[in-house]
Every structure is written in C-alpha cells, then in structure tokens.
Amino acid sequence: MSRSQFSRLALCAAALGALAISAVAIAPSLAAEDAVVIPAPAMDAKAADGIQTVVVAGGCFWGVQGVFQHTAGIVNAVSGYAGGSKATASYETVSTGTTGHAESVEIKYDPKKISYGKILQIFFSVAHDPTQLNRQGPDSGTQYRSAIFTTSDEQQKVTDAYIAQLNAAKVYRKPIVTKVGPLQGFFPAEAYHQDYLTLHPSQPYIAYNDIPKVENLKKLFADNYQDKPTLVSSAKVTN
C-alpha cells in the first residue's frame, strides 16, 4: 500500500479501535523487506574537519530520515526535496512526479564520529533497496527514486567506487540503479514531515514500512546505532 492508502487506513483504524491496535502490533513482522548484509566500502573519504553534508534519496523520506536520526555521528537529518527547482519544492507538487525532485534527506555528519563510507553502507543496506527503479516498496514514481546528491568530488568518487564494488560482488539479485551526481539544491520539506517516524510510530505506513528499518539498523549496525534519535526539532548544527 502507498502512503495515501495507509492514510485512509489510519482513519478507519481510529474508528475500529482495538482492531487497529492489533494490526499495528503485528505490522513489523509483516512488512518491509529484509535488510541486505553488504561489505563496507573498500574506499572511504578522508576524515575532514567540520560538519559534512550529503543528500540521499531512497523512497519516502520518513523512513530514511528515521534511520539516520538513529545513527550515531549524524548531527542532523532533514526531510526535503532535491533534483528540482525551489519554485516547485512542495509536497503536493512533488507528489505529482513531474517536478524532477526526489523525496530526499539532507544528512549532516561529523566525519570524526562516522565516515562517509559507513553512511553509504547503512543507506544501501537498511535504509532502502537500491535496485528498485523509480519506486521504493509501496510507493512508485520518479519522486521515490534512489539517488545520492554529493557535495564534493571525493564523495562522488567514493560513491561510484562503492556501487561498482557492490555490483561486482553481486550482493543484490539485481543491479543497483542509484543515480549519483552533484547536489544542485536541497529544499526542506514542510514541518509536518519532520521527525515523522518518531512522532507517529504507530501510524500504519510507518509501522509496516519504516520501523523495521530502524530495527535492522540496530541489529546490523549496533556500533553505529543510538536509541535516542537526533531530531530536527532539537538538532544543534554549528556549521
């Protein structure tokens, strides 16, 4: 089911009461595809000084943001839009699939606490399925494509090398379709989209599709997992 379908389901659930609670309780065991165990990048970026930025897109930004908000070393993860112009960077317009945007997450990270390569490994392993073209799980359209918008030549080189490494290792059943290119602009999404996973953990779409991603992060990347998420509403970014 898509987010719009789950929204309608949520309204029905409110009326069904106990039935809805039961459905949400079993949701994590029914949903989200299993994470893929993948090797770390053979090439990684150097640990630069100061906070670094990369923007990633992997389907609905609620789940991707939630994963990285639970990742240690991430100082802020903001849901938004990349790949199109500022003039059309609104949820209703982007949802038409005609603006060129992808639902994205701007990740600001401390390279002394987490490397760029580790962010890529988490992104390709638990945050989304990089082999799905112009869709992710129940959502379809170019706005749900897999993409990485880099902010340096080094990020571009490391990303390209890692994708080649994973394709050569055949860790997925199909080739990676993630598009990689320089960031032209990032536009934060509306306030109600921020911190969505944390604020609405029992919302059916989140329970089915996104909570399992955070559980996989905790399971596969225990050293990088933090139980308390770094929320947009409380993040402190100095640069």
Instruction: Give the Cα separation of 90 and 190 in Å (integer).
Output: 8
Do residues 146 and 128 lie in contact, with contact meaning Cβ atoms separated by under 8 Å? yes
Domains of the chain, CATH where assigned? 35-201 (3.30.1060.10)
Do residues 58 and 98 lie in contact, with contact meaning Cβ atoms separated by under 8 Å? no
Instruction: Give the Cα separation of 215 and 35 in Å (integer).
Output: 10
Checking 161-169 for CB contacts under 8 A at 24+ apart, the result is: 161/41, 161/42, 161/43, 162/41, 162/42, 162/43, 162/117, 162/120, 162/121, 162/124, 165/39, 165/41, 165/42, 166/38, 166/39, 166/124, 169/38, 169/39
Do residues 176 and 168 lie in contact, with contact meaning Cβ atoms separated by under 8 Å? no
Instruction: Give the Cα separation of 214 and 67 in Å (integer).
Output: 5
Q: What pLDDT, in 10s, does the model give residues 96-127?
A: 999 999 999 999 999 999 999 999 999 999 99
Hey, what are 158's tokens?
């490391």
Higher pLDDT, 236 or 126: 126
Of 13, 32, 60, 126, which one is the catalytic site residue? 60
Q: Is 60 a catalytic residue?
A: yes
Hey, what are 149's tokens?
């918008």
Higher pLDDT, 123 or 7: 123
Q: What pLDDT, in 10s, does the model give residues 168-180?
A: 999 999 999 999 9
Instruction: Give the Cα separation of 18 and 159 in Å (integer).
Output: 46
Give Cα separations from 210 to 7, 34, 198 (angstroms).
15, 12, 11
Instruction: Give the Cα separation of 187 and 174 in Å (integer).
Output: 31
Residue 133 burial (C-beta neighbours within 10 Å; 0-12, 13-18, 19+): middle
- Phi then psi dihedrals of residue 236, to 5 deg: -120, 105
Q: What pLDDT, in 10s, does the model give residues 145-201?
A: 999 999 999 999 999 999 999 999 999 999 999 999 999 999 999 999 999 999 999
Higher pLDDT, 30 or 94: 94
Alpha-carbon Rg for the chain in angstroms: 17
- With a pLDDT cut of 90, the percent of the chain lying above it is 81
Q: What pLDDT, in 10s, does the model give residues 213-227?
A: 999 999 999 999 999
Local confidence band at 47 (pLDDT 50, 70, 90 cut-offs): confident
Instruction: Give the Cα separation of 66 and 210 in Å (integer).
Output: 8
Q: Residue 76: pLDDT above 60?
A: yes
Q: What pLDDT, in 10s, does the model give residues 119-137?
A: 999 999 999 999 999 999 9
Q: Residue 34: pLDDT above 80?
A: no
